[in-house]
Structure 1
């Protein structure tokens, strides 16, 4: 991963210099793509190391959100810069600038070659870890982006089609914008402790199917990191010995495991809560149905 970061930073510098000297906006947009991916890979590596640190009294959940924070900042910056590139591409459509096709092609070939090396380096390990898999997919798209710039360089050299340069820029920018916005939305949901995609009504029915349970309510679900989902709820039980309480908790934890929940907190009670909705304090619709758990 670190070698891939070094390669991508090298490509970035080469494409920035080559883009300025050749006048190619496509090279500059591709350099942004490589730079953002280099930062993403580096951030993933650093976050993996930070996430390995042990929990303590101050950070009882550990450090898994380090990766989320870094991804949020990276994607927010990326979306802003892409908007700038789209504005510049529009200006190029209106007033085409002369482009040094051979220089553009040469730099693009260097970027393509370096990206291919990075892809080959991470291919074998792409299924071991989600961070590595994400980095691998980013580098794979970098390679495809470099192919597009190479084709554009050849077309400009042969047919002098200057409009192709901003067109490639728009295509690359829109793709980066989509990827960046998806990451931005997901990281924001984690930071805002939005509920993951869980079927609360189905979970409620399953918990209430346990013989000792009368009602399940006041659900809360959130993600600490990418793979760690926490869930807590109130479970009203029938009259029974205290010794059976742990059996109920174990049954609830087991059924929530199939929903991908990694940490469960169950508050057992007996005729305690007056309001017994799935979401505590959730607004009702006119027909009295429960609002969306999200």
Structure 2
């Protein structure tokens, strides 16, 4: 984790430097695609900074107020990052439309060196975070960097085409292609983060879980299922099990066995409520969210 934090801080510094260079280069050269790349780099730096603090907050222990801990701080940041990306992309699409209607001359002597420098910095940032890009929080920041790297490639290619053939419409075209790509990637992160925040049920085979629980000796019926995520990797599950009247030690055996069997479905925390004479064998009980 310490290695990740150091790499994130290094990437933040890189992106802030490139943001300043591309803003200046975009203004001097008149390149919209270079300015769009600078906005992406700025959002990269902000998203990395937010992700860094989310990781720090997420390391705090649970307390009386936040009994589940602070893991959802990372999901909140993923939600904010993806939302900002979508907003920036829509803004750039509008700006690109204006450039198509009123093309502007571009000084490629300034645009190309600055764009190349941005590409190198983005490639380095992507390399630093690649091995850590599996969680929603870091992944959302990584997608910022990856999308900006691709946009830098497009800006460099666009600059070469403009310099060689004088086709100024390539600049807004590159901006449109970059924006569409980012919209697609950001939507997926946004969708997943909203699912977690809204406590949508994880992708679990509830029928298979029901069959597994009802195969435990002593269990007559499994029902009243609820599943949700606290963070990206922490899945909570609760259910009711209808059993025969039995001793407390025997009841504990059933609870322990249920928890053991549910782990193979990726469930990390289980709450089991045992019931006697509330459900007929093989039937479902009434109630919200059952299987």
1:287 is aligned to none
Please, which of 15, 25, 31 is the counterpart of residue 8 of structure 1?
Answer: 15
- d(CA) in 1 for partners of 2:232 and 2:47? 15
Secondary structure of the residue that 2:255 maps to in structure 1?
helix
The 1:278–1:158 alpha-carbon spacing in structure 2 relative to 1, beyond 3 Å, is: farther
1:207 is aligned to 213
1:241 is aligned to 247
Please, which of 199, 223, 246 is the counterpart of residue 193 of structure 1?
Answer: 199
- d(CA) in 1 for partners of 2:178 and 2:20? 18
- d(CA) in 2 for partners of 1:279 and 1:88? 55
Alignment deviations for residues 59-82 of structure 1 (CA, whole Å, 9 cap, x no partner)? 100010111112212222221221
If the length of structure 1 is used for normalisation, what is the TM-score? 0.88
Number of corresponding residues: 281
- d(CA) in 2 for partners of 1:133 and 1:31? 20
2:5 is aligned to none
The 1:277–1:37 alpha-carbon spacing in structure 2 relative to 1, beyond 3 Å, is: farther
The 1:82–1:140 alpha-carbon spacing in structure 2 relative to 1, beyond 3 Å, is: closer
Identify the range of structure 1 (10-19 vs 148-157) with the bigger mean alpha-carbon deviation.
Answer: 10-19
Matches for 1:260-275 after TM superposition, within 5 Å: 260-272=266-278
Q: Is the 8 A contact 2:147 2:182 kept in 1?
A: no
Tell me, which stretches of 5 or more residues in structure 2 are unaligned?
1-7
Higher helix share: 2
Q: Is the 8 A contact 1:219 1:280 kept in 2?
A: no
1:90 maps onto 2:97 in alignment? yes
Secondary structure of the residue that 2:238 maps to in structure 1?
strand
Identify the range of structure 1 (60-69 vs 176-185) with the bigger mean alpha-carbon deviation.
Answer: 176-185
Alignment deviations for residues 239-283 of structure 1 (CA, whole Å, 9 cap, x no partner)? 332211111111111121111111111111112369x6488336x
Q: Is the 8 A contact 2:40 2:144 kept in 1?
A: no
If the length of structure 2 is used for normalisation, what is the TM-score? 0.89
Identify the range of structure 1 (20-29 vs 220-229) with the bigger mean alpha-carbon deviation.
Answer: 20-29
The 1:143–1:80 alpha-carbon spacing in structure 2 relative to 1, beyond 3 Å, is: closer
Q: CA deviation at 1:208?
A: 0.8
